[in-house]
């Protein structure tokens, strides 16, 4: 008997697919799949949580959050000024029954303000110090109140849970973890939509209070210059929770123009002692009742 | 953003080095297989009965690890199913390399044939799937060496 090993043609045990082609097709497919599922579950998660969690329940949750953020007692004149602004804005921006906005002041240097569950709005001294006039401050409060009014904080939480579920359904246990970012981008897209809606609602409120929306964009100019000074310019649009400042300012100007809300009236100044109020040193946090 | 950059860099590095190594390895495999073609490796368990050969165990083994790019491609397969083409070439190379190493050992012993050739494979990554993705391929057989001086 003769024994031989014939030479086997190359490539019979392997597939003739270019790895880059395979990569492009598969990752694109995976991104689309995750994107669609994240959008769907994110949307329904948000709507479902709005429906499941009553305004009262949300208010209770917000109450427990307040203790976490209200670290400093608000100086009294500032308190009453904020409350009066709050009342004027609430008068033109009806909130869902059972929701009460509570403006919290935090003496931290953070240049930020945000709305969280149950109509709780946190304003940091860092941002208030840079506000140029009352219109910008009203824009800020109205914007955050608009988030509360459309129950954005609870919807965000619901959609985040939905998106997380979508991502882990598809990717758990695989090595494709980098694709999880697709879920994150979906989340950011949701929150950008909310920001735009809140901007519009806030402009409407300003128009109702002052009869014009002049000065509204100054709020975003403050934020924009703050970001520049911070050394880290704006992130690319798709990576941002908010619309880009420049684009946002443009949008506000366009809306004002289109609706005839820009009539050249002067802006209302802040109370003369506003900055002094911010620097009043107050003792320990208020006692809870 | 940083995460994505790191991920893409790793992918590019994995692809670049992986492809370079693969091409180079295939060239070497084809060349060495031709050289060793005169020494057949046979799966049959029954050795030729015409001559009384000396018999020796010969083994060749390879441990391979998957690159980042191939691993990611395979992970995408978890989502869609189908052929894991990125692993096919890897395992093909490992089998051929293991067999070649076995044959090289047999040749150094002056063998004429390697009989009863078998493959074994074991995964080194057991239980640590995400840390190591390595597989050992072992080829072994019985080298038949013509007795010296008849």
Diameter of chain A by CA atoms? Answer: 109
Taking the CA atoms of A53, A56, A58 and A61 in sequence, report the sign of the dihedral they define.
negative
Cross-chain residue pair B92–A26, CB shorter than 8 Å: no
Q: Is residue B130 part of a domain?
A: yes
CB A99 within 8 A of CB A57: no
Confidence at A50, pLDDT banded by 50, 70, 90:
confident
CATH number at residue B30: 3.30.110.70
pLDDT at residue A55 greater than cutoff 90: no
Of B7, B19, B48, the CB nearest to A178: B7
Confidence at A289, pLDDT banded by 50, 70, 90:
very low
pLDDT at A238: 60
Pairs of CB atoms within 8 A across A/B: 78
Q: Is residue B54 part of a domain?
A: yes
Q: Which of A10, A43, A36, A88 is nearest to B29 (CA)?
A: A10
User: Does the CB of A33 have a partner CB in chain B at under 8 Å?
Assistant: yes
The token duo for A87 is 């009342």
Cross-chain residue pair A176–B78, CB shorter than 8 Å: yes
pLDDT in tens, B51-96: 788 999 999 999 988 888 888 888 887 777 788 888 888 899 999 9
Q: Provide, as residue numbers in chain B, all residues whose Cβ is less than 8 Å from the Cβ of A176.
A: 72, 75-76, 78-79
Q: Is residue B16 part of a domain?
A: yes
Q: Is residue B112 part of a domain?
A: yes
Q: Provide, as residue numbers in chain A, all residues whose Cβ is less than 8 Å from the Cβ of B7.
A: 178
Nearest-by-CA chain A residue for B82:
A26
Confidence at A247, pLDDT banded by 50, 70, 90:
confident
Confidence at A22, pLDDT banded by 50, 70, 90:
confident
pTM (predicted TM-score): 0.70
CB A132 within 8 A of CB A218: yes
Q: Is residue B150 part of a domain?
A: no
8-state DSSP, B37: G
Q: CA-CA distance, B116 to A148, in Å (whole number)?
A: 77
The residue among A86 and B129 whose pLDDT is bigger is A86
pLDDT at B67: 83
pLDDT at B147: 84
Smallest Cα distance from A172 to chain B, Å: 10
How many domains does chain B fold into? Answer: 1
Of B4, B70, B76, the CB nearest to A30: B76
Confidence at B141, pLDDT banded by 50, 70, 90:
very high
Q: Is residue B92 part of a domain?
A: yes
- Domain of residue B118 covers 2-145
User: Does the CB of A272 have a partner CB in chain B at under 8 Å?
Assistant: no
Cross-chain residue pair A239–B89, CB shorter than 8 Å: no
Smallest Cα distance from A174 to chain B, Å: 6
pLDDT at A25: 87
Q: Is residue B60 part of a domain?
A: yes
């Amino acid at each position: 008997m003769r024994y031989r090993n014939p030479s086997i043609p190359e490539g019979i045990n392997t597939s003739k697919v270019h790895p880059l082609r395979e990569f492009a097709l598969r990752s694109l497919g995976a991104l689309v799949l995750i994107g669609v599922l994240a959008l769907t579950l994110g949307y329904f998660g948000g709507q479902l949580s709005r429906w499941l969690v009553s305004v009262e329940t949300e208010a209770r949750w917000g109450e427990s959050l307040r203790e976490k953020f209200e670290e400093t007692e608000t100086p009294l004149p500032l308190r009453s000024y904020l409350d009066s602004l709050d009342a004027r804005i609430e008068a033109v921006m009806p909130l869902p029954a059972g929701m009460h906005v509570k403006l919290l002041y935090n003496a931290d240097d953070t240049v930020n303000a945000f709305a969280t569950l149950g109509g709780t709005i946190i304003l940091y001294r860092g941002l208030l110090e840079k506000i140029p006039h009352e219109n910008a401050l009203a824009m800020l409060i109205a914007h955050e109140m608009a988030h509360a009014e459309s129950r954005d904080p609870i919807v965000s939480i619901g959609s985040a849970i939905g998106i997380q579920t979508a991502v882990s359904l598809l990717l758990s246990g695989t090595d494709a973890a980098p694709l999880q970012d697709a879920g994150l981008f979906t989340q950011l897209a949701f929150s950008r939509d909310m920001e735009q809606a809140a901007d519009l609602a806030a402009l409407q409120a300003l128009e109702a209070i002052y009869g014009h929306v002049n000065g509204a964009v100054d709020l975003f100019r403050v934020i924009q210059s703050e970001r520049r000074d911070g050394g880290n310019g704006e992130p690319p649009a798709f990576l941002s929770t908010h619309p880009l400042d420049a684009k946002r300012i443009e949008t506000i100007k366009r809306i004002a123009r289109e609706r005839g809300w820009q009539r050249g009236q002067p802006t209302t100044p802040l109370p003369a002692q506003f900055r002094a109020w911010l620097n009043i040193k107050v003792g320990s946090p208020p006692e809870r009742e | 953003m940083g995460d994505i950059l790191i991920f893409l860099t790793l992918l590019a590095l994995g692809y670049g080095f992986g492809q370079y190594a693969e091409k180079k390895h295939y060239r070497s495999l084809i060349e060495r297989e031709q050289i060793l073609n005169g020494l057949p490796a046979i799966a049959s368990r029954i050795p030729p009965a015409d001559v009384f050969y000396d018999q020796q165990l010969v083994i060749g083994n390879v441990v391979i690890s998957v690159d980042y790019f191939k691993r990611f491609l395979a992970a995408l397969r978890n989502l869609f199913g189908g052929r894991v083409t990125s692993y096919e070439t890897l395992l093909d190379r490992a089998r051929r390399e293991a067999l070649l190493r076995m044959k090289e050992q047999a040749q150094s012993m002056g063998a004429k044939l390697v009989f009863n050739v078998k493959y074994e494979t074991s995964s080194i990554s057991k239980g640590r799937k995400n840390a190591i993705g390595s597989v050992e391929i072992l080829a072994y057989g019985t080298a038949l060496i013509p007795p010296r001086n008849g």
